[in-house]
């Protein structure tokens, strides 16, 4: 082969860089690698069943334009949030020295749905008022999902709703934990306090976070999210304690 037809070493290197940096929609430029399972250890080392993990403290998982363009899923299950526009997308901010993603009546679609049962969800959120609705996870087409409404946990199931006992004062930064079991009792707690029971049997998978398609119309979050972790199973008491304490230490929240 002549020198004219043989690609140079520099050209090959350039092609390799281009291929790597454009391969796959889940590419996170600041990370230099695609996010894969095991890239991070889950909170408290509870890795089994990790299904979704957004973390505002990891700037490398957030791409801006200038609002959120990508928010990459640290669980490695490809549930990455991708913005379809820029005008009404969530944006990154810092409040009281804590990084967070602020939603102004917005929700995020995820490409791979999550069954509501069984599941353990831990969300670190900043809520502004006691009377507002703060949806956590829900369906875009079915009135099914989980929300904090006026300080109470509400689970929507096919247009109906179930309430737990009041979680207490939700204003400020808190960790909300929800765990569900197949054909069993479901529980919620605020900052690792008393677990309140609510029985429901959702059938529709959840394909958006911070939003619920409700019978009265879409309900979307007006508040800030610092971290959201979902496992596709009900964690044990020891696992919940380990995960919650790790999350609380990161965000400066007091838990038992």
- Segment 22-50 mean pLDDT: 67
Token reading at 68: 């959120």
Domain that holds residue 203: 26-251
Residue 10 placed within a domain: no
User: Does residue 115 form part of some domain?
Assistant: yes
| Contact (Cβ atoms closer than 8 angstroms) between residue 146 and residue 200 | no
- 75 vs 112: CA distance, rounded Å: 12
The pLDDT confidence band at residue 39, using thresholds 50, 70 and 90, is: confident
pTM to 2 decimal places: 0.83
Residue 127 in any domain: the answer is yes
Q: What is the CATH number of the domain that holds 215?
A: 2.60.120.200
Q: Which of 175, 144, 168 is nearest to 243 (CA)?
A: 175
Q: Is the pLDDT of residue 109 over 50?
A: yes
Whole-angstrom distance, CA of residue 60 vs CA of residue 96:
21
Interatomic CA distance for residues 4 and 228, integer angstroms: 54
3 domain residue, yes or no: no
Residue 8 belongs to some domain of the structure:
no
The number of C-alpha atoms within 13 Å of 156 and in the hemisphere containing its C-beta is 31
Residue of higher predicted confidence among 131 and 142: 131
Predicted confidence (pLDDT) per residue in 48-104, tens digit: 999 999 999 998 888 887 788 888 899 999 898 876 655 578 888 998 899 999 998
In a domain, 19, yes or no: no
User: d(Cα 130, Cα 154) in Å, to the nearest integer?
Assistant: 14
The rounded distance, in Å, linking the Cα atoms of 171 and 63 is 29
Report yes or no: 43 and 243 within 8 Å, Cβ to Cβ.
yes
* Local structure of residue 184 (DSSP, 8 states): S
Reduced to 3 states (helix: H, G, I; strand: E, B; else coil), residue 77 is coil
What is the structure's pLDDT at 248?
97
Q: Which residue has the higher pLDDT, 128 or 20?
A: 128
The answer to whether position 110 is within a domain reads: yes
Q: Give the pairing type, strands 172-180 and 186-190.
A: antiparallel
The answer as to whether 15 is a domain residue is: no
Task: Provide the number of structural domains found in the chain.
Answer: 1
């Amino acid at each position: 082969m002549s020198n004219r037809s043989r690609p140079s070493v520099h050209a090959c290197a350039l092609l390799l860089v281009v291929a790597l940096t454009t391969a796959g929609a889940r590419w996170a430029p600041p990370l230099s690698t695609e996010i894969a399972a095991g890239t991070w250890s889950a909170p408290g080392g509870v890795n089994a069943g990790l299904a979704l993990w957004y973390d505002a403290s990891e700037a490398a998982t957030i791409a801006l334009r200038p609002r959120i363009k990508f928010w990459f899923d640290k669980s490695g299950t490809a549930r990455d949030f991708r913005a379809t526009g820029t005008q009404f997308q969530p944006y990154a901010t810092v409040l009281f020295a804590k990084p967070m993603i602020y939603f102004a009546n917005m929700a995020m679609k995820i490409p791979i749905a999550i069954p509501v049962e069984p599941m353990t969800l831990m969300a670190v959120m900043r809520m502004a008022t006691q009377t507002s609705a703060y949806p956590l996870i829900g369906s875009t087409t079915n009135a099914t999902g989980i929300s904090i409404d006026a300080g109470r946990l509400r689970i929507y199931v096919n247009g109906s709703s179930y309430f737990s006992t009041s979680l207490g004062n939700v204003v400020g930064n808190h960790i909300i934990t929800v765990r569900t079991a197949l054909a069993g009792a479901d529980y919620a707690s605020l900052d690792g306090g008393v677990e309140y029971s609510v029985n429901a049997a959702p059938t529709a998978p959840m394909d958006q976070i911070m939003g619920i398609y409700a019978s009265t119309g879409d309900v979307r979050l007006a508040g800030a999210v610092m971290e959201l972790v979902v496992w596709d199973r009900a964690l044990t008491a020891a696992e919940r304690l380990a995960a919650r304490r790790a999350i609380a230490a990161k965000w400066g929240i007091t838990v038992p």
